[in-house]
Amino acid sequence: MLETATRKPTACLALADGTVFYGIGFGVTGQTTAELCFNTAMTGYQEIMTDPSYAGQIVTFTFPHIGNTGVNPEDDETADPVAEGMVVKWDPTASSNWRAAEELTDWLSKRGRIGVGGVDTRRLTRAIRQQGAPHVALAHDPDGNFDIDALVKAARGFSGLEGLDLAKEVTCAQSYQWNEMRWAWPEGYKAQTNPKHKVVAIDYGAKRNILRCLASAGCDVTVLPASATANDILALNPDGVFLSNGPGDPAATGAYAVPMIQGVLDRSDLPVFGICLGHQMLALALGGKTVKMNHGHHGANHPVKDLETGKVEITSMNHGFAVDSQSLPDGVKETHTSLFDGSNCGIRMTDRPVFSVQYHPEASPGPQDSYYLFERFADAMDKRAAS
C-alpha cells in the first residue's frame, strides 16, 4: 500500500505479519529492526527519542506535528537518541521556536537514526493496539529501492524484548556525580550547592531530568552503573538509594539487580525509591512478578489513581512490562493503579520507607502532579536522620 501517493516513497516500514507502510524518509539512510510502539504525547519528541527506556523500539507518534519546535541540547535526556527510529504522520517542517538550535531531521542524521513521514499513523496505531507491539524493519533509501521480502524476513527475525537485558547497553560506564537541578526561568539549570541528603542512584538507563529532580529535592547524587553491588552502594554510606528507569525485560535485568536490592534491604534501613524499571526491579526483589503488556503505556496523558489518598494524577508513562499486582506478597501494598486498564502503577513496603512507581514523575505532564514523590523520598531520609 502506498501511503504517500503523490511522491516516490523513500522509506518503508515492514511489519512481521507482512503489512507494509511506505513514506518519505528523513534522518540517516539505512535499515534497522525493532519493536514498534506508539506514543500519544503532544510534546516532548526530543525527550522521547533520547529516553533510554526506548532502547530496542521504534516510536510511532500519534500527534502529527513532530519537529516543529526543533531540537536543542538542553532537552536531551541522554547524550544521543536511544530509540531506533520514529514514524510520523506529516513530514517534519522547518522549526519555529526561540529555543531551537537544530532541525530534527539534521539531528537524526548526525546521530544515526531513521525517520519516516507520510504514514497513516492512525491505522498503524490501531494495528499495534489490536495485535500487540509488532516486530518491524524500517528502511530509508533516497532512491526508493526496497527488498520487501527481505525486510519482512528481517522483522520476523527480530528477537523481541522479552528476555533481553538492555539496561547493560544504556547504563553509564563508570560512576559520576550529579548536582544540576530542574530548569527554572530565567536562570535555566542551576547547581545544587547546599544538599541535605547523600543519594546513590542506580543507572538502568536514567533520564537526566530524574537526576535533576533528585538534586532539586536536596540530594547530592552519586550515579552508579547497573551492575553495582550492595557492597558498592553501602560503601558510599548513602542516606537513600534510587533505582532508575530503563529498557528491556525486567526479569532479565533482575538477574543481577534483584540480589543487589535484596542485599541493600537486608543490611540497611535506607529509604529506597524506584521509577519505571526501578519499580519493576523493586517488585521482583520483594517477591512480585512482572508480565509483558500487549502494547504498553507510552504517553503524557495517563491518569493514575493514588489508592491511599484518592487523588488522580495525570502522568507520563513509557513501559511495555508491568508488575503483576496479584503476585505482591504480604508486607507489600499496591499504592497506585492506571485508570486506563487497572494495571499496577505503584507499590510500597508497609513497614519501611521503600516505595516505587511505574510512571515518570519527573516528566511533569500534570505539570507538577507527581513531584511530591521526590519530596516523599527526601522526607523519608530526613526522618531516618532524625531517628
Q: What is the CATH number of the domain that holds 306?
A: 3.40.50.880
Query: pLDDT by residue for the chain (387 residues), tens digit each?
Result: 344 456 799 999 999 999 999 999 999 999 999 999 999 999 999 999 999 999 999 999 999 999 999 999 999 999 999 999 999 999 998 999 999 999 999 999 999 999 999 999 999 999 999 999 999 999 999 999 999 999 999 999 999 999 999 999 999 999 999 999 999 888 899 999 999 999 999 999 999 999 999 999 999 999 999 999 999 999 999 999 999 999 999 999 999 999 999 999 999 999 999 999 999 999 999 999 999 999 999 999 999 999 999 999 999 999 999 999 999 999 999 999 999 999 999 999 999 999 999 999 999 888 889 999 999 999 999 999 999
6 within a domain of the structure (yes/no):
no
The residue from 108, 133, 157 where one domain ends is 157
> Does residue 279 sit in the same domain as residue 135?
no
> Does residue 242 sit in the same domain as residue 330?
yes
Are 233 and 266 in contact, with CB atoms under 8 Å apart? no
> Does residue 144 sit in the same domain as residue 171?
no
- CATH code of the domain containing 44: 3.50.30.20
> Does residue 118 sit in the same domain as residue 208?
no
> Does residue 67 sit in the same domain as residue 41?
yes
The residue from 110, 137, 157 where one domain ends is 157
Contacts of residue 149, defined as CB under 8 A and 6 or more positions apart, other chains included, come to none
With residue 35 as reference, give the H or E element that holds it: strand 30-39
> Does residue 126 sit in the same domain as residue 147?
yes
108 within a domain of the structure (yes/no):
yes
> Does residue 66 sit in the same domain as residue 129?
yes
Count of structural domains within the chain: 2
Phi-psi category of residue 373: left, alpha or beta, with phi > 0 → left and psi -120 to 50 → alpha: alpha
Task: Give the per-residue pLDDT at 1.
Answer: 38
Contacts of residue 16, defined as CB under 8 A and 6 or more positions apart, other chains included, come to 134, 135, 136, 152, 155, 156, 158
5 within a domain of the structure (yes/no):
no
Q: Is 362 among the residues known to form the active site? A: yes
295 within a domain of the structure (yes/no):
yes
Which residue is it, cell 516510536?
59
> Does residue 231 sit in the same domain as residue 114?
no
377 within a domain of the structure (yes/no):
yes
4 within a domain of the structure (yes/no):
no
> Does residue 96 sit in the same domain as residue 189?
no
Q: Is 360 among the residues known to form the active site? A: yes
> Does residue 135 sit in the same domain as residue 188?
no
Please identify which of the residues 12, 37, 276, 345 carries the catalytic annotation. Answer: 276
126 within a domain of the structure (yes/no):
yes
The residue from 134, 157, 180 where one domain ends is 157
Please identify which of the residues 3, 35, 47, 362 carries the catalytic annotation. Answer: 362
> What is the amino acid identity at position 280?
Q
Q: Which domain holds residue 358?
A: 167-386
Helix axes 250-267, 277-285, angle to 10 degrees: 60
Task: Give the per-residue pLDDT at 6.
Answer: 60
Q: Give the count of beta carbons closer than 10 Å to the beta carbon of residue 314.
A: 16
Are 35 and 133 in contact, with CB atoms under 8 Å apart? yes
> Does residue 348 sit in the same domain as residue 206?
yes
Torsion sign across C-alpha atoms 358, 362, 368, 373: positive
Task: Give the per-residue pLDDT at 2.
Answer: 40
> Does residue 242 sit in the same domain as residue 370?
yes
Q: Is 140 among the residues known to form the active site? A: no
3 within a domain of the structure (yes/no):
no
Please identify which of the residues 197, 297, 302, 360 carries the catalytic annotation. Answer: 360
